Amino acid sequence: MLEFAARMTLGAVLCSFGVGLSGAFAAPPSTVIQPNVAPAKSELPAAQFAPLTPEVVTRAKQQWLVALTRLDDYLLASGPDNAAAWKEYLAWDALTEASRSDTAPAREALADWTRRWTADHTGLEQPQFRAARLAFEQYAHLAAAAAETDTADTFATHIETLRLTWPKLVEQTATADERFAAFAAMRWLAERQQAPELVAAVRQHFTQPNLTAAISARLASLAMSEPIDKVEPLSDVILGVCINGTVHVRGHTTIAFCEDPTAASFEVLINARAASNSVGFKHPVTLYVTGMTAIEAHKPMRMTAHGMTGLPAWACCPTNTSINCIATKRRIVERIAWRQSARQKSTAEAIGAQHAQVKTAERMDDKAARQIAETNAQFQANLIDPLLRRGDQRPELHFNSRRDQAQMQLQFARRDQLAAGAPPPELSNEHDFALRLHESSIINLGEAFLGGVELNDKLAEQQLHDAQVNVPDELKPGPDSEPWSMTYARRLPIHAKFEAGQLKLALRGESFRRGDQSIPDLVEITATYRLTDSGRKLVREGDVSVDFIERARLTSTLIGFKSFLRRKFSALFVDEMSLGRLPAMGSLAKLGELDVSELRAENGWLLIGARLATAQTNAMTTAE
């Protein structure tokens, strides 16, 4: 279940990155992550509670109204049909009425609008929608806070939490629970516009990448290595001779990384030999020619802050030909043709080589252009746009490469979220694939991809199957089983704690269904695992925990439903999980499984290293 839940949370990211070559290069980054060189202050700035006055809420509502007006202009300019469809989806009449009303919207209305604004709906990533959504979110937070009666006391509690945990956070000695408490405190303050200087100081410290991935040159080369074995028609004109025939090309395509500290740079390489068999005609002579061309071609590629780009391809194609026969009606013409062919042989071969070089480079450029366009479009649709629909800015990505590996760093955090506070720990050994996840990446990406999403019994079975996890009998839909569903909470739908060889994973749902029964309660389902056998096995500690967060006491109905959830999720959070092998995905799928060579959990980070088995490497090399 741990791998299943992690894939549910990070699936869109890791599939975009491909956990393979596409993982190293498929994602166009946005901005280069600058190292956090400024030392953290030993003490946080002073903070004083600022009462939430009606004027503050009114000002937020006015900003929301301005954003709605701009969105209205944008929609009207897009055409009446499109504007009408969007306004119906957004419940526009109710929105505009609420923005002009003197009373705050009901909690149910705010929840409904939040669901609409933050849905993974194409178009909501556009700047006009994002501006209106962010203004709405700010107003919704302040309107809800205005109804709270203990704001000052809660403020004092959160400030105290931050002050007590801050030295430990700076020194990287805080426990997982302390990091989680600091995260919750900072978010509470940010949403209510309290202690802005203190919030800024905390955020400035937590700006390190919270997910990194690396792939070795060996693994990328094996993954992308493809055989070339094709027969093509040959048509050319050299020195006035019209040539027609066939060419049989055999070889392989692979890639090689290049040194580049600011981008993931690599070359697509073609090494092949082309054997031709052709007939040339120039009145009154017919020539029967065979040839051999050695093809070496390079297509440089770079992943930068502007996306994946390619430099012009180049090729070197030395050619050697043999004239096997010259046919003509007159013998004297044949002798002249043989002498002339001998004199022009080197010139003809040079021209043929030049034509082959141009044609090979053009083909590489055309193919790369299609792949680049497709890759960038998929990345935008599968990662960037969904994050923009839920977040307030693009994720920060940075790529770099050496001759032996390529690396990606991602930092994603909304304005009310935190990233990592320090660079990730180093892995102990060299690996073909390495992944380092910070707790904040699980929280932040989980909210972006899972918040408000419904998971039902059929979808859970499909996701387990897609993740190459055996589906337990308890989770298999059938005529004798009750259908069930869970809607992930918009806040903390999934969160994890990585500490001292221990992994704690929690899922939160805000509503549930069991048959005809509906449970609109906030429930957290938690399992804790201990790493054993040198990180190759996860052993669950205790039972799966099911907690109704907002209830002190449970009715008999909820007690029965709690037992139902524990039974279902105990089938997901299994007692033991072997992690000796990691299924390869994306462009690595043809390589089979990777051996997990290192797995550690420490100080908020989960570190995973995997290697391609020696037998697999030898088999792939032999096949080439």
Give the tens place of pLDDT for each residue, 510-550.
999 998 899 999 999 999 999 987 777 899 999 999 999 99
- pLDDT reading at 597 higher than 50: yes
Mean pLDDT of 128-141: 89
pLDDT of res. 352: 95
More confident residue, 500 or 28: 500
Q: Which residues of 270-279 are buried (b: 16+ CB within 10 A; e: fewer)?
A: bebebebebb
pLDDT of res. 467: 67
pLDDT of res. 37: 43
Mean pLDDT of 237-251: 96
Per the CB < 8 A criterion, the answer to whether 174 and 182 are in contact is yes
Which residue from 433, 510, 450, 469 is spatially nearest to 216, judged by alpha carbons? 433
Q: Transcribe 166-181 into DSSP letters.
A: HHHHHHT---HHHHHH
Per the CB < 8 A criterion, the answer to whether 509 and 489 are in contact is yes
Is residue 28 very low, low, confident or very high in pLDDT (cuts 50, 70, 90)?
very low
- pLDDT reading at 377 higher than 80: yes
At 66, the amino acid letter reads: V
pLDDT of res. 26: 32
For CA atoms 586, 590, 593, 598, the dihedral sign is negative
Give the tens place of pLDDT for each residue, 251-271.
999 999 999 999 999 999 999
Is residue 618 very low, low, confident or very high in pLDDT (cuts 50, 70, 90)?
low
Tokens for 256?
């090689």
Average pLDDT in the chain? 86
- pLDDT reading at 16 higher than 70: no
Cβ count near 210 (within 10 Å): 30
Rounded-to-integer distance, Cα 469 and Cα 60, Å: 47
Beta bridge pairs of residue 505: 496, 527
- Name every residue whose Cβ is closer than 8 Å to that of residue 145 and which is 6 or more positions away in sequence: 52, 151, 191, 192
- What proportion of the chain, given as a percentage, has pLDDT over 90? 57
Instruction: Give φ, ψ of 221 to 5 degrees.
Output: -65, -45
